[in-house]
């Protein structure tokens, strides 16, 4: 069994990890998708339970619980939107505005799984606050991140994202809908943006929650690797 990702914090009730890109949070369908964060952590800590998920290709901070009570309380905090999450991403183009809020309801795209879609009738409410932190070009990126054949003059921006809700693919869908797909997104970005980088440039940078045992506020950070 491969080793778990880097540990940011561990106590008798929970563990916080820095998930790498390319690793599922939970097992997928089929033996080739059995390896995941949950199984790696459970191998070292039997009984460890996933509280929330990050997409396979999203990296960053994720918390797991060691017991049923901690799992219930942490899950409640996520469900009741009492946690605070901050992501960073590289997106296509230069947004005309420096920030704003995206408020678009999302549901599963039944004709194109696992994609999501905007649906103003049947979609679930979904809100994301976004802020541009810098603008540049693909040529500004590290050679290990930029795609081999990427145009170095493609305009890109770094953005900070604060989701108010936690829908599947919310950040990826919302950024697509405002015309600024996330670089390397193999579901929502077409060429030249999907091949501009060799990974999905979305990272869970900050997670804030209250400890399920002692009630202490806890903040964990992971610097974006791009």
Catalytically annotated residues? 55
d(CA 166, CA 182): 17
Q: How many CB atoms lie within 10 A of CB 26?
A: 12
d(CA 54, CA 150): 27
| Residue 220, beta-bridge partner list | 207
Residues constituting the chain: 226
Go through 96-124 and write b for each residue having 16 or more CB atoms within 10 A of its CB, e for each that does not: eeeeeebebbbbbbeeeeeebbeeeeebe
Residue identified by tokens 């869908």 is: 173
- Taking alpha carbons only, the member of 58, 5, 26, 45 closest to residue 187 is 58
Q: What is the DSSP string of 9-29?
A: EE-SSEEEEEEPTT--SS--S
Q: What is the DSSP string of 68-83?
A: HHHHHHHHHHHHTT-S
Instruction: Yes or no: say if 64 and 15 are a contact pair by the CB < 8 Å rule.
Output: yes
């Amino acid at each position: 069994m491969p080793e778990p990702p880097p540990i940011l914090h561990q106590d008798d009730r929970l563990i916080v990890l820095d998930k790498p890109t390319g690793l599922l949070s939970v097992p997928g369908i089929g033996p080739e998708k059995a390896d995941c964060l949950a199984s790696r952590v459970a191998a070292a800590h039997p009984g460890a339970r996933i509280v929330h998920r990050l997409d396979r290709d999203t990296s960053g901070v994720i918390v797991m619980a060691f017991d049923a009570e901690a799992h219930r309380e942490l899950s409640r905090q996520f469900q009741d939107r009492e946690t605070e999450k901050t992501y960073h991403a590289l997106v296509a183009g230069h947004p005309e505005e420096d920030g704003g809020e995206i408020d678009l309801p999302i549901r599963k795209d039944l004709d194109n799984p696992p994609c999501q879609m905007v649906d103003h009738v049947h979609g679930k409410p979904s809100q994301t606050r976004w802020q541009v932190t810098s603008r540049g070009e693909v040529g500004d990126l590290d050679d290990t991140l930029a795609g081999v054949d990427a145009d170095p003059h493609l305009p890109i921006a770094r953005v900070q994202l604060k989701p108010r809700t936690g829908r599947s693919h919310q950040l990826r869908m919302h950024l697509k809908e405002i015309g600024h797909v996330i670089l390397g997104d193999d579901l929502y970005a077409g060429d030249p943006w999907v091949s501009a980088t060799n990974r999905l440039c979305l990272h869970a940078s900050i997670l804030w929650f209250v400890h399920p045992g002692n009630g202490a506020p806890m903040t964990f950070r992971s610097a974006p690797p791009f």
